[in-house]
Amino acid sequence: MKLKSWSKILFINIGMFLACLLIIEIIFGDWFSKYNLGPYMREYRLKKNPVVLKHDNKTYNFFFKRNYHGFRGEEIEPSEIEAVIIGGSTTEERFKPIEFSITENLNRLLKKRNYNFKIINAGIGGQSTYGHIYNFQHWFTKLKNFSPKLYIFYIGINDQYTDYKKIEEMQPAAPCCGNKKTGTMDIFLDNFKSRSFFSDKLKTLRLKYFVTGKKLQYNRNHFIAANGQRIETYKDYKYINYKEALTIHNIKYLKSKHEKRISHYLNNIEILSNYAINNNAVPIFVTQVKYDGLKTGVLFILNYSLIEYCEKKNINCIYLGKKLN
């Protein structure tokens, strides 16, 4: 009889304990919140990866961090963000200590010139303008009181590899490219984890006191070209600047050859520009170059077409490819 009584008491206590956990989850969790980030940002928040970088015969040990809301760097409330830079891996720069990144170099320059705001890094490796559009639809809309006044888009490189599709034909699944296949169970588990109060708190504690992924190692004393060829020094290839690009590329021919890609690219630019303007912000588009400059015809003509579009629409653009030698 005593054993049955103890079993009954234990069963009741376990039931009450689970009921309390459920009540806490319902009250404090994000089960009904419109600001829940859901599965879209599953791999791009609460990250703290140890990184070892070798460059110019020096070794740098640092942590690559993405904060609670998905931005690179330390914690900051979305309501405090006045400017963001959006792009792919060349914006995210996970292979660099943050103090050497483009974003932080810009911030030091702003401070030096007495501007009292910081640019926050919203780069995600692999993203093209398709991914940037999904950010507005599935990431930025879920950040409470997120209303920066300046959006900087560092774009071009990844768009030369995207499909010939309209944005409406692309299906979002992950921040990278918007067309990755994800299983139903993965989406369910990611939704559950992101909405759970206890899961969220455990992740936050883990980020504070432990690493959240394997060690990343980069050796930048050599260079890997796009074709997989290892280049031992930076002198083993020729950089094609804008002036030289004009002599090796036929603009009329490239516009005709890549007409559909250019059309979809500029359509994406218009969507991004409208997102910023409709949110009372200023968009700035910055063109990119590869390690060999503007040697690739498709990147050259995307940059060229973007600047023409910006001049026509009176949008702020920086033709970086034209300035670099």
**In the chain, what are the domain boundaries?**
1-30, 31-323
Token pair 């560092």 in the structure block, residue: 154
pLDDT per residue as tens digits for the range 120-140: 999 999 999 999 999 999 999
pLDDT per residue as tens digits for the range 184-218: 666 676 666 676 666 666 676 666 666 667 777 87
Tell me how far apart the alpha carbons of residues 80 and 150 are, in angstroms, rounded to a whole number: 13
pLDDT per residue as tens digits for the range 134-160: 999 999 999 999 999 999 999 999 999
Q: Which of 47-51, 53-57, 252-256 has the lowest mean pLDDT?
A: 53-57
Residue 199 phi, psi (nearest 5): -60, -40
Q: How many residues does the chain have?
A: 325
Token pair 């931005």 in the structure block, residue: 71
pLDDT per residue as tens digits for the range 52-86: 998 888 999 999 999 989 999 999 999 999 999 99
Q: Is a pLDDT exceeding 70 seen at residue 170?
A: no
Query: Distances in Å between the alpha carbon of 56 and those of 87, 225, 303?
Result: 26, 18, 31
Burial code (b: 16+ CB inside 10 Å, e: under 16) for 248-278 equals ebeeeebeeebeebbebbbebbebbbebbee
Tell me how far apart the alpha carbons of residues 138 and 128 are, in angstroms, rounded to a whole number: 15
Q: Residue 179 — pLDDT band, cuts 50, 70, 90?
A: very low
Structure tokens at 23: 């009540």
Tell me how far apart the alpha carbons of residues 264 and 233 are, in angstroms, rounded to a whole number: 37
Tell me how far apart the alpha carbons of residues 106 and 84 are, in angstroms, rounded to a whole number: 11
Phi/psi class of residue 156: alpha, beta or left (left: φ > 0; alpha: ψ in -120 to 50)? left
Give pLDDT, residue 57.
Answer: 83
Q: What global pTM score does this model have?
A: 0.84
Enumerate residues 6+ apart whose C-beta is below 8 A from 273.
283, 285, 313, 315
Give pLDDT, residue 25.
Answer: 62
Give pLDDT, residue 172.
Answer: 56
Specify whether domain 31-323 bears CATH 3.40.630.30: no
Enumerate residues 6+ apart whose C-beta is below 8 A from 310.
285, 316, 317
Per DSSP, the three-state class of 18 is: helix
Segment 96-103 shows an average pLDDT of 94
Enumerate residues 6+ apart whose C-beta is below 8 A from 210.
48
Say if CB 113 and CB 248 are below 8 A apart.
Answer: no
Give the bridge partners for 47, in sequence order. 66
pLDDT per residue as tens digits for the range 223-252: 655 555 555 555 567 889 999 999 999 999
Give pLDDT, residue 38.
Answer: 73
Q: Is a pLDDT exceeding 80 seen at residue 270?
A: yes
Tell me how far apart the alpha carbons of residues 66 and 131 are, in angstroms, rounded to a whole number: 18
